[in-house]
A and B are shown apart, each in its own frame.
Chain A
Amino acid sequence: MGGYRCIRATPGGTLVAAVIAFILFGIGVLALVLRRDLVIKLLALGLVNAATILFLVSIGDRPGAKAPIQLPGEVAILADPLPHALVLSAIVVNFAILALALVFVMILVERYHTTDSTRIEQEMDRETDEEETPCL
């Protein structure tokens, strides 16, 4: 199983991965909050998830460690498997959120014919106003 050795991390590589994760996270959160397009918001959510995964993988690493797959009798420094197992949850939950959110975006687009969140909010306000007016 010597093939897995090529994945061995370089010293300081984990810090670089963490910095990249931070930059991706920042871009993702800013796009999620500031952009008005719902599809862009979902893509930003995916970016935040990717950053989280990179961060989890980077904290599981240690200098000179190889992937946590070990044969009996083999002595090697292994990466911490616990964050790697957490990554799996992150991926599955992200899949679930993205699939459901995409369906909701599709329903909103069918009804309001736009992906702009501000315009959808305005349309919804107008609808509630129209519903309330006859009662007065």
Chain B
Amino acid sequence: MKRHRVRIIAATGIVLAFAILVSIMHLGNAPDPSDSTRYLSRALEETGASNRVAGVYLNYRLLDTLLEVLVFSVAVLGVRHYLQQSEGMELPDLSESEVVRTAVVFLSPLALLLCAFFAILGHISPGGGFAAGVIAASGLLYVAIAHGMGAIEAQLNPGRMARTEETILLALLIFALSPIAFGKLPLSDLLAKGTPGRLLSGGSILVYNILIALKVFVGAWAVIAVFAQHRGEL
């Protein structure tokens, strides 16, 4: 009973702390760091990306984003490691209805097309690598729901997918460090800024978006595949 009371007090404390944070940010003197004004006034010239958010997380704060990709990789590694140790269930191969199988023929290519759109145009319109990767993985999930996991695993070997994921992560890190070879600081922009609003603008952001989209696609698919294998079927 005492433990229960301690929990209630702790929960109320956390909620009150959040309430104070909300009121400080909204009602009091909200802090306006000079960085934010810089991102608003000069980001377009400094990054060349019309999408300011992409400019912040793939140029000014690229280190944060790279570590974020590492966090994602560690999570995928952990899920794979722990679920492969425990035994999966054996369920019969369930085939979905004709309606689902017909809908997937339209939905999956659409998902892959949206992935390409968000990854390639992430620096000039809403989108970006993370969203693109998740959309492509969900496109593959539709196929798995309609035709079963076996159909996808016959095409995409899980072991090869794991190696592909590690290769993309390595390529991302090498690309981030490659400016050293050209006498620049690591993580700095290697490609030309270009005219903002054009496809070839924003420097390296386009390359990072495509690499992150591939990485998140393979990683998210690995998580889905391991959960599906463990359960027997989707």
User: Hey, which bits of chain A sit against chain B, CB under 8 A?
Assistant: 1, 4, 14-15, 18-19, 21-22, 25-26, 29-30, 32-34, 55, 58-59, 67-72, 78, 80-82, 84-85, 88-89, 91-93, 95-97, 99-100, 103-104, 106-107, 110
Contact = CB atoms under 8 A, between A and B. Distances in A.
Given A32-B11, A55-B22, A59-B26, A68 B53 contact: yes
A26 B20 CA distance: 13
19 contacts: A15-B26, A18-B25, A26-B15, A26-B18, A55-B25, A69-B124, A70-B52, A72-B44, A80-B39, A81-B39, A81-B52, A82-B36, A85-B56, A92-B68, A99-B75, A99-B76, A100-B82, A106-B83, A106-B230
Nearest to B38: A82
A134 to B, nearest CB: 28
Contacts of B36: 80, 82
A78 B57 contact: no
B154 interface: no
A69 B52 CA distance: 6
Contacts of A21: 22
Contacts of B1: none
Contact of A29 (B15, B44, B64, B195): B15
A32 B11 CA distance: 8
B139 interface: no
Interface of B: 7-8, 10-11, 14-15, 18-19, 21-22, 25-26, 30, 33, 35-36, 39-40, 43-44, 50-53, 55-57, 61, 64-65, 68, 71-72, 74-76, 78-79, 82-83, 86, 124-126, 128, 130, 195-197, 223, 230
Contacts of A103: 78-79, 82-83
B59 to A, nearest CB: 10
Contacts, number: 125
Contacts of B18: 22, 25-26, 29
Contact of B130 (A1, A4, A58, A88): A88
Q: Is the interface of A mostly helix, strand, loop or mixed?
A: helix
B169 to A, nearest CB: 14
B22 A82 contact: no
Which residue, of A33, A59, A107, has the highest number of chain B Cβ atoms within 10 A?
A33
Given A89-B64, A92-B71, A103-B78, A78 B22 contact: no
Contact of B126 (A19, A69, A100, A106): A69
Contact of B196 (A19, A71, A80, A104): A71
Contacts of B130: 88, 91-92
Of the candidates B30, B55, B56, B82, the one having the most CB atoms from chain A within 10 angstroms of its own CB is: B56
Given A33-B7, A59-B25, A69-B50, A81 B72 contact: no
Contacts of A55: 21-22, 25
B79 to A, nearest CB: 5
